[in-house]
Amino acid sequence: MAPSVSATPASPPADTPGSRGAFRSALLPVGLSVLAAGGLYAVSQYSYILFHGAIEMFAAAVALTIFTVTWNSRRFMDNHYVGVIGVAYLGVGIVGLMHALAYKGMNVFPGATSNLPTQLWLVDRYLAALAFLVAPLFIRRRLDFRVALWWTLGVTAVALGAVFAGLFPTAFAEGVGLTPFKVASEYTVILVLAVALFLLLRTRDHFDRRVWRLLASSIVLTAAAEVAFTLYADPFGPFNLIGHLVYVAAAVLVYLALVKTALEDPYSVLFRRLKQREEELEQARILSDGLTHIVTGAMATLDVETVMQETVRLASEVMSADAVAVSLSTGDGWTVRWTHGHPDTLVGRALRADEIAHAAEAVRTRDVVAISDARSNALTRTGILESLGVQAVLTVPFAVASEPLALLSFHFREPHVFSDREVDFARRLATAVALVVDNARLFAAEHEVSETLQAGLRPALDTVAGVETGFEYRSSPGVGTLGGDFFDLFLIDDTHVAIMIGDVSGKGIRAATTTATVRGAVRALAYAGLAPVPVLNALNTTLEHRGLDAGFVTLLYTVLDVESGKMEICIAGHPTPYLCGRERQPDFEAIVDPPLGLFLDRPYHSGEARLERGEVLVMYTDGLIDARAEGLPFGEEGVCAVLSGCAGAPVQEIATSLADAAERHAGGVVPDDVAVLALRFLGR
């Protein structure tokens, strides 16, 4: 259920040069009208009939001028409030003219008494009042001017027909004065004008400020004239005189609002909504760009604390709010968790439900609650908002899995009318933040699972007499990513040790299960007495039968004789090892076969090498040599540069130095997992 909100267009300050010029331009005709009213009063003392005729003829001329201008500018008119008034004033002008001609003493209608002009006056006033009452309905709707014209002519004709056919109730009785019907009609007109004034004030944002003020003043003066017309007993009496003088002032104001303004400054009346739409589009652009910026920034990190701190800060800037707060539900109340623009002491404060009743309303409706003036709203007149000096608030709940999770609140220290764009921004922001927070929490949970599994997949290497080992493992950046790099070292029998290092394609749980399969299978096959080549052939068959879901595996597997230093080595698509201290490296490239799990019938080969006492064999995964800086990989050249002079260093230091060098080359973060295994042959 969407709240009722309206836009507040920008208006120039009252003391700007433009507003002073507008005031002066309006002051001249008003001054002339005051002088004219004084002259008319003097005329009334000479001849009341002449006074009345001049007043009513002027009013009728104003009404017909309003209709003429409105009708001829209807194709360009955007605010159809003005259109309704303009068309209706055709009937007002016609009836007003007939009222002037029917006045006692004019002798235009033979045998007519004071009742006829009084009845025509009531018809005239009903038409004008109904026009102001109906006009607000067409601020957002299009008016069919031809239909409106026929309605005006039809209603006017029916009313005049009722008057001249004797069907209209008596309004003035000779020798008695005004009838109860006439007095009641005047008060009815006043009531209708009061409602029309209220509706005009409610919709004033659709008008130029000068126009709606003139219209409102005209309605007020018209109502005052109606009061005077309820008090006279003599058509030539003082209350009738006062009523007509006030009435002519009201007619002047209508003229200024709908005719003079329309001619001199047509954008103020005819294109007000067009200008407002331009402002709305600009506001919508700012809010849309702001939402994109906030969501993009939130997605750049998976840390909930960082996400929310940045969200409240940026949301405050985009909405031009004095403060923004996010409160978490605690069952029977709320706790302020993140805020921007409020004192830090507010964070952690527990709030009762009755302190922020607007929050309960937001949760109940599952939508935005926008309160433009907190001082006059029962939901916000008491509680924390008052103590913080907040006078306008917009609150929207956001949830994960359809359950209320938090409240996002925008606070303003001055009354603020929230536009539809601002409400939509808050709603969309809450939805986006909920998704980001939910995503961060899911990744955090997966990260915990991944860390647990990763720790379980990293073996405790067997302690082997005659072999000294060191290793390094660096995870790639990202939360919840379980890598596929692995290594292992274990005794097969008293004199032979199996060593392997490998990399499973992909990441996550699937890569972890494949890693476990490969390590377990290699151990089982090695314990069964199989040499490296049969081990790889059997492992390749196992992976191929598991299908594509298993992925493929690069593997370096060797069996070392810890007495002689002799080793048999198989390489399945894996980087070749490096022997520290030798200028000429063994030709391991000649025995590199394809990765495991790709070709079922492809046989694997092995090569032999012999380690001398004190030599260090270094093995690593491709994440090390693929580490890049400005497109250049660390590569085997980087490996040689680090390892060429460190044969005598401790093996753990060798493994760590190599991983550190690749990380520095990549600017501090390696893009893939890196595993390094170094062993020094000591012999027995």
Residue type, 673: D
The listed range with the strongest mean pLDDT (309-318, 458-467, 541-550, 569-578) is 569-578
Under the banding of pLDDT at 50, 70 and 90, the label for residue 581 is confident
Last residue of a domain, one of 449, 482, 504: 449
Residue 547 lies in a domain: yes
Read off φ and ψ for residue 178, nearest 5 degrees. -65, 140
pLDDT of residue 66: 84
Q: Which tens digit of pLDDT belongs to each residue from 193-204?
A: 899 899 888 888
Using DSSP, state whether 502 is helix, strand or coil: strand
Q: What CATH number has the domain bearing residue 554?
A: 3.60.40.10
Say yes or no: 349 and 423 in one domain. yes
Q: Which tens digit of pLDDT belongs to each residue from 135-180?
A: 888 887 888 889 999 999 999 999 999 988 889 898 888 777 788 8
CA 490, CA 518: separation in Å to the nearest integer? 14
pLDDT of residue 1: 40
CA 371, CA 391: separation in Å to the nearest integer? 9
CA 367, CA 129: separation in Å to the nearest integer? 39
CA 411, CA 288: separation in Å to the nearest integer? 20
> In b/e form, how buried is each residue of 245-279, taking b as 16+ CB within 10 angstroms?
bbbbbbbbbbbbbbbbbbeeeeebbbbbbeebeee
Say yes or no: 289 and 418 in one domain. yes
Last residue of a domain, one of 218, 235, 270: 270
Last residue of a domain, one of 424, 449, 474: 449
More confident residue, 621 or 332: 621
Say yes or no: 25 and 98 in one domain. yes
pLDDT of residue 327: 83
More confident residue, 210 or 234: 210
3-state secondary structure labels for all residues of 207-260: CCHHHHHHHHHHHHHHHHHHHHCCCCCCCCCHHHHHHHHHHHHHHHHHHHHHHH
Say yes or no: 266 and 289 in one domain. no
More confident residue, 293 or 73: 73
Q: Please tell me the pTM assigned to this model.
A: 0.43
Residue 2 lies in a domain: no
Total count of residues recorded for the chain: 684
Say yes or no: 470 and 433 in one domain. no
DSSP H or E segment with residue 33: helix 17-46
Whether residue 6 is predicted with pLDDT greater than 60 in this model: the reply is no
Determine the structural domain holding residue 445 and report its residue range. Answer: 282-449
Report whether 431 contacts 361 (CB < 8 A): no
pLDDT of residue 102: 83
Q: What CATH number has the domain bearing residue 246?
A: 1.20.1070
Q: At what angle do helices 145-164 and 80-102 cross, to 10 degrees?
A: 20
Using DSSP, state whether 396 is helix, strand or coil: strand
CA 145, CA 42: separation in Å to the nearest integer? 41
CA 619, CA 328: separation in Å to the nearest integer? 51
Whether residue 612 is predicted with pLDDT greater than 60 in this model: the reply is yes
DSSP one-letter code for 596: B
Whether residue 455 is predicted with pLDDT greater than 50 in this model: the reply is yes
CA 634, CA 663: separation in Å to the nearest integer? 9
Residue 64 lies in a domain: yes
- Tokens of residue 445, six digits: 């949970």
pLDDT of residue 114: 81
Mean pLDDT value across residues 39-52: 64
- % residues pLDDT > 90 (the chain): 17
Say yes or no: 320 and 423 in one domain. yes
Beta partners for residue 400, in sequence order: 403
pLDDT of residue 575: 93
DSSP H or E segment with residue 570: strand 566-572
Under the banding of pLDDT at 50, 70 and 90, the label for residue 14 is very low
Report whether 328 contacts 406 (CB < 8 A): yes
Report whether 491 contacts 497 (CB < 8 A): yes
Residue 427 lies in a domain: yes
Whether residue 567 is predicted with pLDDT greater than 90 in this model: the reply is yes
Distances (CA, A) of 518 to 313, 333, 451, 475, 548: 50, 53, 20, 20, 15
Residue 4 lies in a domain: no
Say yes or no: 442 and 465 in one domain. no
Query: Which of 217-231, 486-500, 549-563 is least confident?
Result: 217-231
Say yes or no: 442 and 505 in one domain. no
CA 227 to chain CA centroid, Å, is 51
Q: In the block, which residue shows the tokens 């809450």? A: 430
Say yes or no: 424 and 521 in one domain. no
pLDDT of residue 290: 65
pLDDT of residue 295: 66
Q: Which tens digit of pLDDT belongs to each residue from 645-667?
A: 787 899 999 999 999 999 898 88
Q: Which tens digit of pLDDT belongs to each residue from 504-540?
A: 887 767 777 788 888 888 999 999 888 999 999 999 8
Taken in order 267, 270, 274, 277, is the CA torsion positive or negative? positive
Read off φ and ψ for residue 359, nearest 5 degrees. -65, -40
Whether residue 576 is predicted with pLDDT greater than 70 in this model: the reply is yes
Nearest CA-CA partner of 394 in 318, 508, 485: 318
Residue 578 Ramachandran class (φ > 0 left, ψ -120 to 50 alpha, else beta): beta
Residue 276 lies in a domain: no
DSSP H or E segment with residue 620: strand 616-620
Query: Which of 105-109, 223-227, 639-643 is least confident?
Result: 105-109
Those residues with Cβ within 8 angstroms of residue 164's Cβ, 6 or more apart along the chain or in another chain: none
Those residues with Cβ within 8 angstroms of residue 602's Cβ, 6 or more apart along the chain or in another chain: 540, 593, 594
- Tokens of residue 468, six digits: 């000294």
Report whether 474 contacts 626 (CB < 8 A): no
Using DSSP, state whether 640 is helix, strand or coil: helix
pLDDT of residue 222: 82
Residue 277 lies in a domain: no
- Tokens of residue 145, six digits: 């001017």
CA angle 67-69-71, nearest 5°? 65
The listed range with the strongest mean pLDDT (236-245, 423-432, 479-488) is 423-432
More confident residue, 379 or 459: 379
Q: Which tens digit of pLDDT belongs to each residue from 324-340?
A: 888 887 777 788 888 88
pLDDT of residue 17: 44
Report whether 425 contacts 319 (CB < 8 A): yes
Number of domains the chain contains? 3
Q: In the block, which residue shows the tokens 């007095």? A: 183
The listed range with the strongest mean pLDDT (72-86, 120-134, 450-464, 575-589) is 120-134
Under the banding of pLDDT at 50, 70 and 90, the label for residue 374 is confident
pLDDT of residue 606: 92
Say yes or no: 470 and 427 in one domain. no
DSSP one-letter code for 347: T
Nearest CA-CA partner of 609 in 647, 561, 554: 561
Nearest CA-CA partner of 358 in 340, 331, 384, 335: 384
- Tokens of residue 299, six digits: 């997605």
pLDDT of residue 4: 37
Say yes or no: 182 and 135 in one domain. yes
pLDDT of residue 19: 45
Under the banding of pLDDT at 50, 70 and 90, the label for residue 570 is very high
Residue 3 lies in a domain: no
pLDDT of residue 460: 67
Q: Rg for the chain (alpha carbons), in Å?
A: 45
Q: Which tens digit of pLDDT belongs to each residue from 232-246?
A: 655 555 666 777 777
Q: What CATH number has the domain bearing residue 348?
A: 3.30.450.40
Say yes or no: 480 and 331 in one domain. no
